A and B are shown apart, each in its own frame.
Chain A
């Protein structure tokens, strides 16, 4: 199953200027219900976000698509 199929919320931040991707991701994570996942799409690896997620008990899986899009699937660690 692709990352897009697994995600309840998708934040396509490829056309957004900072800090909008971060803000939209935070808002999206707020909306997640138990067991749901969020997909963030960017053209780069968001290192500061990774640390923030880890600090706050979230797990993620990142993969790079052939067009350069980095897809980050995020969910609450159990």
Chain B
């Protein structure tokens, strides 16, 4: 069975792994920033520290893992791989990382030059990524809900980054554009147009596959991505034009995201797995936190007393970013990274040397303890919005520890890969 275990389109391990291994460093950076700056960071969502904190989580942790996941999942979900995967991964990773560091420099120092340079790097990274992913996606017809979701998510990312480029240009070149309005549209495209759409496309594949749930209902997977994309486009237009229709369209968007989270939770409850592993618990935490964030958002829009509170957008941000997206992404990393390591070791063994069991690549106990630490960090962050003087620094420290722990667990898997690869090479050399 030697030849059977060769894969022609699986991207080299170093392609997606560079995104997955470095992403936790950005989340750790967010924790460190809160630890250093303390309660002042949480004074409002517009403080330089809060903007840097948010972008470490979104343009750092989330963007990096999601780009890596998209490069990896394209051949699995659609049968079409990205051309020159390693070169694309290196270039996009380097440009996005450099762009983010410059953006952070811009937020923290407010020097226009940093914003100008960040615009250049993010734009170059986006062009390369869209060129590569677009060529792969163009080769497959958008016949399945997964392919639709991935195509629209790629478009959502392009719009998010373009709006980000507009904002950074306005700051870098002192342009008189309506920053607050564009910021609202930018973050909505980032959270829904890129975040929820990509998450849904990946969930259609990963949730039934790894968490042994029933498949997503056909009606939901067919209408969710096009429906959310259309509602988001209409909402953006109405918001920009100041139409009274905008809040209603915003409600449609929130309802769509809520239905996705609710249905996914319902599927998880019906999982055929006897024992809940760290990934499963991470998904439940992420979806629960996402639903809490949506509820808070809706209440704030309906109740001016809550909506006018400075902590309202901060608490929403903590619940949706750290509680929602970070939880679900961490849980998926705990399945995707060991699986990729297994796949490449199996391939390297050429059918003569077997890969180790997945559970030995990343022990469940280590993942479970890290997940508990992340949950504690989330609780502390949410409480820190209410009592910043007491809890801002402990919350920052907890996020720093849980993110470094995540990185440690992922690197532990890579160490198993390296050790096993040496064994395989030794055994193959001895038998040849």
Q: Are B209 and A52 in contact (CB under 8 A)?
A: no
Whether A51 pairs with B8 at a CB distance below 8 angstroms is yes
Q: How far is the CA of A18 from the CA of B6 in the complex (A)?
A: 17
Per the bound structure, the CA–CA distance linking A50 and B81 in Å amounts to: 14
CB of A19 within 8 A of CB of B77, answer no
A35 at the interface (CB under 8 A from B): no
Distance in angstroms from A46 CB to nearest chain B CB is 9
Within 8 A of B (CB), among A12-67: 15, 17-19, 26, 29-30, 43-44, 47-48, 50-52, 55-56
A17 contacts B210, C-beta separation under 8 Å: yes
> Contact at B6–A55, with CB atoms within 8 Å?
yes
Q: Which residues of A contact B210 (CB under 8 A)?
A: 17-18
Give CA–CA (A52, B76) in the complex, Å.
Answer: 12
B79 A56 Cβ-Cβ under 8 A: no
Q: Which B residues from 175 to 222 make CB contacts under 8 A with A?
A: 205, 208-210, 212, 214-215
In the bound complex, do residue A43 and residue B4 qualify as a contact, i.e. CB atoms below 8 Å apart?
Answer: no
Contact with A along B66-78 (1 / 0, CB 8 A): 0000000001111
**A29, A43, A47: which contacts B79 (Cβ < 8 A)?**
A47
A17 to B271, CA, bound (A): 12
Report whether A48 and B212 are in contact in the complex, using a CB–CB cutoff of 8 Å: no
| Residue contact B358 to A19, C-beta cutoff 8 Å | yes
CB <8 Å contact, A17 and B212: yes
Within 8 A of A (CB), among B37-85: 75-79
How many angstroms between the C-alpha atoms of A44 and B205 in the bound complex? 8
Number of B residues contacting the other chain (C-beta, 8 Å)?
Answer: 27
Q: How far is the CA of A47 from the CA of B136 in the complex (A)?
A: 15
- Closest Cβ of chain A to B79, distance in Å, is 4
Residues of A within 8 A of B78 (CB): 47
Given contacts A19-B339, A51-B8, A68-B215, contact A44 B209 (CB under 8 A): yes
B124 at the A interface (CB under 8 A): no
B4-A56 in contact (CB<8A):
yes
Contacts of B209 on A, CB cut-off 8 Å? 17-18, 43-44
| Beta-carbon contact of A30 and B1 below 8 Å | yes
A52 contact set on B, CB distance < 8 A: 4-7
Q: How far is the CB of B148 from chain A (nearest CB, A)?
A: 15
A–B complex contacts, Cβ < 8 Å, 26 sampled: A15-B272, A17-B209, A17-B210, A19-B342, A19-B343, A19-B346, A26-B1, A44-B205, A44-B208, A44-B215, A47-B77, A47-B78, A47-B79, A48-B7, A48-B9, A48-B75, A48-B76, A50-B79, A51-B7, A51-B79, A52-B5, A52-B6, A52-B7, A55-B3, A55-B8, A56-B6
Binding site for B on A (CB under 8 A): 15, 17-19, 26, 29-30, 43-44, 47-48, 50-52, 55-56, 68
Q: Which B residues have a C-beta under 8 Å from some C-beta of A? A: 1, 3-10, 75-79, 205, 208-210, 212, 214-215, 272, 339, 342-343, 346, 358
Known: A17-B209, A56-B4. 20 other contacts (CB 8 A): A17-B210, A18-B209, A18-B210, A26-B5, A30-B1, A43-B208, A43-B215, A44-B205, A44-B209, A44-B215, A47-B76, A47-B79, A48-B75, A48-B76, A52-B4, A52-B5, A52-B6, A55-B3, A55-B8, A56-B3
